[in-house]
């Protein structure tokens, strides 16, 4: 569709040059030579013999020279530029069309091989290392009230492994089958996630206060806040970290800090650097650590009702390769201060991001490549000596096994098994 028409166009251009310029020039030279022969060379043999030298010098040589000059001019002014144009056009097609197309095709074939190789690495690591860790067999008798069952007197903020969800409010986002698989990272509502044990929520909003994920938009954030309040009203000792941010590429909703404080004021835990070593019993009855991350609006001030972005950090990388993300999570976690000295929350996201240049762009099949490795990651944290740094652990499509792994490790911590 590209190269053949380009070559055909070049051939047509060359034929046109030959038929309209070169052929007439050659015909003109031939006709001139015939005229010279007919009018000057035919009369008599004697005149030809007597005037041969003069004729050659004054007529033939200039005619030949004119023909040669004309031919050179045609080559220089017509043929050479035409050839150069065709060559430049061909290079442009190769550079701007063929090379990118080949690169995309190569990526489409190479990416599945990379994914398969990296999944094998994780499978081999699981086979050799296992996924056992202290507390891995713990199952809370009541996931809705799991903090209360672990003892609010013994449980401090920095000992909790917080089960979190990534893009928490994307359930039902987009059009079913069409765009939903591209943006939905959870199938449960906010309330359902909290009831099943989730204690960190990652909520993205746009200017009109609707939930969004990239260009996809969903319900109003009021539904999130109402679900949180509903859960808090049904429990007494559960503490939630609620992160709300303006999605990348969007503007901050107006007056949003005031909105949050008005809606959640009675539950909000003031920002306090000394909070991390306190037990839940010392913090209650306040229940919500709300972290507001605007893009352009002023950040919440220290000591206020809302916490700013300094208090929740992570090292997200944009990849759909499971071993690459696994290693990145581990390496960045090792670089963090230990929980005993840390004065901020640090999140590890056990998630992957679909890439636009790949055939598989739906969230679920991509993120499942690493989602199954949550227990393996905890086990490797122990093996590599950084388990005392793991704090918030988030996932797409949270399930009971992920929740049990986080709470089991928390149980082991407060009982001195780690």
The length of the chain is: 418
Q: Look at residues 83, 114, 145 and tell me which one is the last residue of a structural domain.
A: 114
For residue 120, being part of any structural domain is answered with no
Asked whether residue 40 carries a pLDDT value surpassing 80, the answer given is: no
Give the pLDDT confidence of 203-233 residue by residue, as tens digits.
999 999 999 999 999 999 999 999 999 999 9
pTM of the model: 0.77
Task: Show contacts of 65-72: CB within 8 Å, 24+ apart.
Answer: 67/25, 67/29, 67/32, 70/25, 70/28, 70/29, 71/25
206/311 same-domain check:
yes
Dump pLDDT digits (tens) for 243-266.
999 999 999 999 999 999 999 999
Q: Is residue 123 part of a domain?
A: no
pLDDT at position 117: 98
At 195, list the tokens: 């009831």
pLDDT band at 78 (very low <50, low <70, confident <90, very high): confident
* CATH code for the domain in which residue 149 is found: 3.20.20.190
Residues 50 and 21 in one domain: yes
Q: Last residue of some domain: 114, 144, 173?
A: 114
One domain for residues 286 and 409 = yes
- Identify the residue whose tokens are 């928490």: 168
Q: Indicate the helix (H) or strand (E) that contains 212.
A: strand 210-213
- C-alpha span between 376 and 240 (Å, rounded): 26
Higher pLDDT, 77 or 389: 389
What does the pLDDT read at residue 357?
Answer: 86
13 alpha-carbon distance from chain centroid: 45
Q: pLDDT tens, 117-161?
A: 999 999 999 999 999 999 999 999 999 999 999 999 999 999 999
- 3-state secondary structure (DSSP) of residue 195: helix
190 pLDDT above the threshold of 80: yes
Task: Report pLDDT for 102.
Answer: 64
Give the separation between CA 406 and CA 175, rounded to whole angstroms: 33
Q: Would you say 393 and 160 are in contact if contact means Cβ atoms under 8 Å apart? A: no
**Mean pLDDT of the 174-188 span:** 97
pLDDT tens string 48-68:
556 656 655 676 677 768 867
Two tokens, residue 34? 């015939």
For residue 32, pLDDT beyond 70: no
Residue 36 has pLDDT above 90, yes or no: no
pLDDT at 103: 64
pLDDT of residue 44: 54
- The predicted pLDDT at position 94 comes to 73
Cα 278–284–290 angle (5° rounding)? 85
User: For a pLDDT cut of 70, what percent of the chain falls above it?
Assistant: 85
Alpha carbon distances (Å) from 351 to 317, 336, 393: 10, 20, 10
| Statement to judge: residues 240 and 359 lie in one domain | yes
Nearest-CA neighbor of 348 among 334, 369, 364? 334
Residue 42 lies in a domain: yes
Question: Do 97 and 224 fall into the same domain?
Answer: no
- Does the pLDDT value for residue 235 go beyond 90? yes
Residues 186 and 239 in one domain: yes
Q: Which of 64, 79, 114 is the last residue of a domain?
A: 114
Q: Answer yes or no: do 110 and 134 share one domain.
A: no
Q: Where are the alpha helices (DSSP H) in 160-313?
A: 180-183, 190-195, 222-234, 256-264, 280-283
Residue 136 within a domain: yes
pLDDT band for position 75 (50/70/90)? confident
Rounded mean pLDDT, 3-16: 63
Rounded to the nearest 5°, which phi and psi values hold at 245?
-135, 155
In a domain, 156, yes or no: yes
Q: What range defines the domain where residue 167 resides?
A: 130-414
Q: What is the pLDDT of residues 371-392, one digit of tens each?
A: 999 999 999 999 999 999 999 9
Give the count of domains, the chain.
2
Q: Name the nearest CA neighbour of 347 among 278, 289, 265.
A: 289
Q: Are 314 and 362 in contact (CB under 8 A)?
A: no
Check pLDDT > 80 for residue 22: no
**What pLDDT digit, counting tens, does each position of 303-356 carry?**
999 999 999 999 999 999 999 999 999 999 999 999 999 999 999 999 999 999
143 and 87 within one domain: no
Instruction: Give the burial class of 65: count Cβ atoms within 10 A of its Cβ; 0-12 exposed, 13-18 middle, 19 or more buried.
Output: exposed
pLDDT in tens, 285-315: 999 999 999 999 999 999 999 999 999 999 9
Same domain, 109 and 136: no
Q: Is 107 found in the same domain as 138?
A: no
Residues 188 and 95 in one domain: no
Phi/psi at 30 (nearest 5 deg)?
Answer: -65, -45
Residue 291 lies in a domain: yes
CB of 418 within 8 A of CB of 409?
yes
119 within a domain of the structure (yes/no): no
Residue 121 lies in a domain: no
Are 271 and 172 in the same domain?
yes
> Where would I find the H helices in 297-397?
322-334, 363-371, 374-383
């Amino acid at each position: 569709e590209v190269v053949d028409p380009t070559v055909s166009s070049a051939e047509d251009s060359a034929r046109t040059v030959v038929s309209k310029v070169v052929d007439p020039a050659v015909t003109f030279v031939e006709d001139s030579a015939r005229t010279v022969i007919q009018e000057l060379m035919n009369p008599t043999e004697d005149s030809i013999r007597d005037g041969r030298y003069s004729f050659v010098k004054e007529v033939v040589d200039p005619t030949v020279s004119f023909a040669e000059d004309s031919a050179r001019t045609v080559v220089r002014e017509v043929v050479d530029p035409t050839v150069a144009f065709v060559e430049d056009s061909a290079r442009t097609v190769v550079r701007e069309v063929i090379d990118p197309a080949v690169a995309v095709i190569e990526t489409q074939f190479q990416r599945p091989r990379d994914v398969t190789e990296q999944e094998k690495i994780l499978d081999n690591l699981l086979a050799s290392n296992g996924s056992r860790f202290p507390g891995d067999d713990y199952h809370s008798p009541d996931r809705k009230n799991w903090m209360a069952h672990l003892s609010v007197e013994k449980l401090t903020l920095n000992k909790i492994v917080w089960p979190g969800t990534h893009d928490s409010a994307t359930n039902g986002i987009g059009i079913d089958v069409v765009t939903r698989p591209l943006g939905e990272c959870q199938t449960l509502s906010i309330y359902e996630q909290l009831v099943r044990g989730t204690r960190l929520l990652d909520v993205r909003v746009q200017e009109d206060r609707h939930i969004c994920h990239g260009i996809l938009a969903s319900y109003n954030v009021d539904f999130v806040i109402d679900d949180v309040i509903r859960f808090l009203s049904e429990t007494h000792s559960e503490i939630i970290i609620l992160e709300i941010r303006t999605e990348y590429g969007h503007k901050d909703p107006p007056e949003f800090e005031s909105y949050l404080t008005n809606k959640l004021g009675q539950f909000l835990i003031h920002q306090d650097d000394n909070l991390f070593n306190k037990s839940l019993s010392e913090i209650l009855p306040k229940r919500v650590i709300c972290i507001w991350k605007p893009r352009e609006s002023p950040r919440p001030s220290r000591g206020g009702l809302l916490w700013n972005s300094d208090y929740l950090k992570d090292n997200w990388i944009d990849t759909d390769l499971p071993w690459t993300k696994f290693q990145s999570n581990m390496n960045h976690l090792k670089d963090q201060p230990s929980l005993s000295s840390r004065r901020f929350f640090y999140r590890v996201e056990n998630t992957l991001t679909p890439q636009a240049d790949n055939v598989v762009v739906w969230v679920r099949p991509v993120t499942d490549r690493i989602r199954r490795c949550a227990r393996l990651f905890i086990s490797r944290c122990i093996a590599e000596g950084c388990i005392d740094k793991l704090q918030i652990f988030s996932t797409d499509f949270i399930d009971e096994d992920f929740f049990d792994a986080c709470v089991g490790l928390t149980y082991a911590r407060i009982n001195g098994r780690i």
